Amino acid sequence: MKKNTLVIENNIFTIIGSKSNIFALIFIWFLSISCFLIPLIATIYLIVSGNGFHFGMVVFFIIFWVPSALMTRIALWNTYGKEILKLHENTIEYIADYKFFKDGNKTFQVSEIQIEIAEIMELKNKKMWILRITSNKEIFHTSLSLNLDEIELIYNELKTRYDFK
């Protein structure tokens, strides 16, 4: 099992996801590209054959391009995915980084949150750990798991820096 890694630079904690199996990535990219190209090829065929473009093609594009976008997002996350925690004076900023775009940006006011370590089970009953951030509005979990030593390093830094109980 590949392991996620933790990189610490100044006030930035980066959890870098392990790369997925190459065959799974090839399959996801193949499906994504196929779903993207099918409506384009069908539209070109209809225009060349003289039928022209009609409203049904818009639906056809939506039916194929939405899954293509979702599969592209999954493939990028499984190839380049990482989570970034930026520590500021009164806030903690969370960013899910897909290399070509960033998503899931959240900013937590330190005075409104509680942070704890949550246990999850990975494959082969191996225990791994994530951070759980609870605020007045929501409960948030990091996506990428780490071993206990690494997650405790982040937790202890947050606890020391922001004087959590």
Chunked mean pLDDT (size 10), the chain, 165 residues: 81 89 94 96 90 86 95 92 90 90 85 85 75 84 87 88 74
Closest CA to 28 of 88, 74, 82, 65: 74
How far is 24 from 99, CA to CA, in rounded Å?
Answer: 19
The pLDDT of residue 165:
58
Write the CA distances from 59 to 36, 53, 54, 133, integer angstroms: 13, 12, 10, 40
How far is 44 from 112, CA to CA, in rounded Å?
Answer: 55
| Beta strands 82-87 and 12-16, pairing class | antiparallel
The pLDDT of residue 120:
81
94: which 2 tokens? 């969370």
